Amino acid sequence: MAFRFELQCTDTSTALGTPARRGVFHTPHGPVQTPGFMPVGTQGTVKGLTIDQVAGTGAHMILGNTYHLGLRPGHEVVKTLGGLHAMSGWEGPILTDSGGFQVFSLDGINKISEHSVIFRSHIDGALIDLTPEYSMQIQESLGSDVAMVLDHVVALPAEKDAVQDAMERSIRWAKRCLEYAGRADQAKFAIVQGGLDVELRVQCAREMAAMNFEGYAVGGLSVGEPPPEMYRITQATTPELPQQKPRYLMGVGRPIDLLESVARGIDLFDCVMPTRNGRNGYAFTDAGPIKIRNAKHKTDTSPLDPNCDCLACTRHSRGYLRHLFIVGEMLGPSLLSLHNLTYYQKVMQGAREAIEQGCFAQYMATKKQQWGIE
Ligand SMILES: Cc1ccc(CCc2c3nc[nH]c3cc3c(=O)[nH]c(N)nc23)cc1
Ligand SMILES: [Zn+2]
């Protein structure tokens, strides 16, 4: 069996009506410990880090993108280079997004029809006709272990009929992706849409659950809605998804969002925050966030985070890291990205251990207190 989700134990200590879950998602490129965080490697690289550094953070699975790689260098080139694994050298599991979200979120014209979404390449202006089948074909060339279905995401806030129209189209497109005769060693994940409307979310989740996907993502969130709204929708959606399949909350989130969502039954996460914020000099630590450019760090010889064993925290001071950002040295963004990814993996490792011990609620409360959250 190329793919298998092994649900090891659950923890109901948070009493949110759906338990936190500890599991292992087995893939052809190795196991992924859940709950787990997947670093974003949009262009086939986690920006500023070597793959050995990414592995060193504790990451098991990384993300690639159909939209970007499909445009440049083009999926045929990636295929000729042996696929994303051979090209990047990453030997672990890879998940690729379908490209739809990038089309809808990158401002610019796009034309939606039942057939596809047509958009102009932001690189050379060429018209691209992205059908569910073409998205699957690109992801097949990329050779990812998990391919996301092509979905239609509407920007929030949106009228209920627009959300319903996009949700129903996403169901029809998901069916077309499932029917696409791809490779046996590539899993397909469904993506549940429905905006912030519980009724639409439940309907969509049930229709997707009735189709035989290897995993289920909750999409259409982390698009600017208030975190409590994200939690409310997640909590309404996960109970409708198959218990024995992995659940992936797309684009989430801050460390607190990861824990609040684990408590509501989510197994996998991705987010650009640790790397994007790292590149901008914003570090996540047990004592809360640090803006390294702040003058108060200028002569600070202490490490970024005394509890962290990453290269940035064991080899350098806050004063040096600040200096790198002030003079614009490329090592600065790399080191803070490395630290943030290490930090995210440590938060998730703690979550996995807490669920195993049945004390996830206590773990979340402790982290909230450390982070200065009510
Ligand atoms: C490389 C890569 C980058 C980013 C992503 C996830 C991108 C992403 C979202 N990010 C925030 N919210 C999101 C919602 C959706 C969504 O509803 N559908 C899809 N297909 N992707 C989403 C996947 C892969
Ligand atoms: Zn560190």
Distance CA 347, CA 365 (A): 13
Distance CA 302, CA 285 (A): 13
Q: Which of 222, 174, 220, 232 is nearest to 194 (CA)?
A: 220
Ligand 1: distance of its center to the CA of 251 in Å? Answer: 5
Is residue 93 within 8 Å of residue 54, measured between CB atoms?
no
* Cis amide leading into 253 (omega within 30): yes
The single residue listed with the structure tokens 């996403």 is: 170
Mean pLDDT of the chain: 97
Distance CA 331, CA 325 (A): 8
Mean pLDDT of 309-317: 98
| C-alpha 243: how far from chain center | 20
99 is in an annotated binding site: yes
Domains of the chain: 27-270 (3.20.20.105), 278-373 (no CATH)
| pLDDT for residue 352 is more than 80 | yes
Q: What is the 3-state secondary structure (H, E, C) of 313-330?
A: HHHCCHHHHHHHHHCCCC
* Cis amide leading into 228 (omega within 30): no
pTM reported for the whole predicted model:
0.98
Mean pLDDT of 239-252: 98
Give the binding-site residues of ligand 1, using a 6 Å CB cut-off.
40, 42, 63-65, 97-98, 100-101, 148, 151, 153, 191, 219-223, 250-251, 270
* Cis amide leading into 73 (omega within 30): yes
| pLDDT for residue 368 is more than 80 | yes
Tokens found for residue 187: 């899993």
| pLDDT for residue 300 is more than 80 | yes
Closest ligand (CA of 97): 1
Distance CA 319, CA 301 (A): 6
Tokens found for residue 144: 């990812």
pLDDT in tens, 62-111: 999 999 999 999 999 999 999 999 999 999 999 999 999 998 887 677 89
Question: From residue 186, how far is each of 189, 355, 357 by CA, in Å?
Answer: 10, 29, 33
> Which residue out of 97, 144, 234 has the highest number of ligand 1 atoms within 8 Å of its CB and is therefore the one to mutate?
97
Nearest CA to ligand 1 atom 12: 251
Strand segments (E) across the chain = 4-11, 20-27, 30-34, 36-38, 62-65, 94-97, 110-112, 117-120, 127-130, 146-148, 187-192, 215-218, 247-249, 268-270, 282-283, 290-291
| pLDDT for residue 8 is more than 80 | yes
Higher pLDDT, 30 or 122: 30
Q: What is the 3-state secondary structure (H, E, C) of 117-148?
A: EEEECCCCCCEEEECHHHHHHHHHHHCCCEEE
Q: Is the ipTM of this complex over 0.95?
A: yes
Ligand 1: distance of its center to the CA of 249 in Å? Answer: 9
Q: Which residues pair with 37 in a beta bridge?
A: 269
| pLDDT for residue 233 is more than 80 | yes
Length of the chain counted residue by residue: 374
Sequential DSSP letters for 36-55: EEE-B-TTSS-TT--HHHHH
pLDDT in tens, 165-216: 999 999 999 999 999 999 999 999 999 999 999 999 999 999 999 999 999 9
Ligand 1: distance of its center to the CA of 87 in Å? Answer: 22
Is residue 150 within 8 Å of residue 131, measured between CB atoms?
yes
- Show which residues are catalytic: 97, 270
220 is in an annotated binding site: yes
Under the phi-then-psi rule, with left for phi > 0, alpha for psi from -120 to 50, and beta for the rest, what region is 224?
A: left
What integer pLDDT is reported at residue 107 of this predicted model? 66
Tokens found for residue 80: 């000729």
**Which residue type is seen at 144?**
S
Q: What is the CA radius of gyration of the chain?
A: 20
Distance CA 15, CA 5 (A): 24
Distance CA 251, CA 272 (A): 7
Burial 104-121, CB ≥16 within 10 A → b, else e: beeeeebebeeebbbbbe
